[in-house]
Chain A
């Protein structure tokens, strides 16, 4: 069973290339307003994460994912399902 604590470092590594405009990525970093991802980049990131963790992230859940932590928790939930 993969836990959030195990997911977080992998997630931060995946997101780091998108964080050129800002400093250190944190759990509280807002994916859109702070990381500055546009809708296209969000989709690219999600596809990458889906392959990385072998999950499919439903579009229905996206409105609830705002921060790195939200995304990590979503991945944890999908891996448990």
Chain B
């Protein structure tokens, strides 16, 4: 068998989906109009699957800062910070993040994926153990693997299982890194962080929280779940991304441990990659300021999330978690999910189609990410479209069974 033949099973699975008349693999955004609208397949479409939680991608201050940086500092850095040096703007952004979290040390990475790779692989290496939540993002899985530590999983959000696995480790628990997420990206549920911090302290382990989906969303200052749960002191390191509520690209790690700075010298995803572009750094820094100065955005996001959540629940959808910016409608079968996703797109609504094996517990999901920028009219249209596809699918199911 040649190296390429192993893709045949993927090709077959893809073909089966394409035969249903739906092609979710090559969706092209022909024109982006605003944080919540784009042209797809020639039609103006409401975006409800882009993680643009605060709608900052078109904020005039971010755009202006980005344009100025582009003109003054150029299109790219053409190398890594370790080899080519840091731009002042990289250092400024790190200080701004550290200040935002009230922690002394922050490191910026070129993507959120690399932030997890860089932090996790540097913290836990051969001889150490990682205990990760089973529903963790792929970047966490890959970061754990990259460092060479022994990797164990505990059942999703199950503190009893976490406790059990730490107990089995004996003295090794003190050289164990626990990694959980603030908000889990698929279902939108949150880690039971207070209980996890208690267990972490009991076993003297180290705790990293990925706040990718909770930065700008949870907590009085928008710092994330650790802030909301009142346990920031018990968290050793927070990782996050700029590509969701901050509306750009990049990632970061932030910590109070003085040794955290040394990650720069051991983290391959930090050392061996080009540093973030000046224009991206500039817009991120402004977006961080906007999050600090405009709590109304977060309030609007939650207001919108409640409207959409209640609307979908009223129609009859089973939803994945409590009210939040990630709202996942659980669909009984993959075939129905494909048909409903296509139906929504034809009505001008773009959501994320999530099907096994990429989903927890083999669920099929229509995943919405709400934005503070969604208007009441847009939310009404989204809910009505969900109601339409719900009726169509149920009518079809009834006609097949009779």
User: Chain A interface (Cβ within 8 Å of chain B)?
Assistant: 38-40, 43, 47, 54-60
* Contact assessment for A39 and B357 in the assembled complex, using a CB-CB cutoff below 8 Å: yes
CA distance A71 to B356 in the complex (A): 25
Segment of B67-75, B98-106, B150-158, B253-261 engaged in the interface with chain A: B150-158
User: Chain B interface (Cβ within 8 Å of chain A)?
Assistant: 134, 144-145, 150-153, 155, 161, 165, 168-169, 356-357, 361-362
Most buried by A among B144, B150, B153: B153
* Minimal Cβ-Cβ distance residue in A for B151: A59
Most buried by B among A43, A55, A57, A59: A59
* Contact assessment for A58 and B357 in the assembled complex, using a CB-CB cutoff below 8 Å: no
* Minimal Cβ-Cβ distance residue in A for B356: A40
CB-contact partner of A54 in B151, B168, B169, B356, under 8 A: B168
* Contact assessment for B134 and A58 in the assembled complex, using a CB-CB cutoff below 8 Å: no
Give the shortest distance, in Å, between B10 (CB) and chain A (any CB).
Answer: 14
Q: What number of A-B contacts does a CB cutoff of 8 Å give?
A: 30
* Contact assessment for A58 and B150 in the assembled complex, using a CB-CB cutoff below 8 Å: yes
Give 22 CB contacts A-B under 8 Å: A38-B357, A38-B362, A39-B357, A40-B361, A43-B134, A47-B155, A47-B161, A54-B168, A55-B168, A56-B152, A56-B165, A56-B168, A57-B152, A58-B150, A58-B151, A58-B152, A59-B144, A59-B152, A59-B153, A60-B145, A60-B150, A60-B151
CA distance A60 to B161 in the complex (A): 19
B357 cross-chain contacts in A, Cβ below 8 A? 38-40
* Minimal Cβ-Cβ distance residue in A for B149: A60
B356 cross-chain contacts in A, Cβ below 8 A? 38, 40
* Minimal Cβ-Cβ distance residue in A for B148: A60
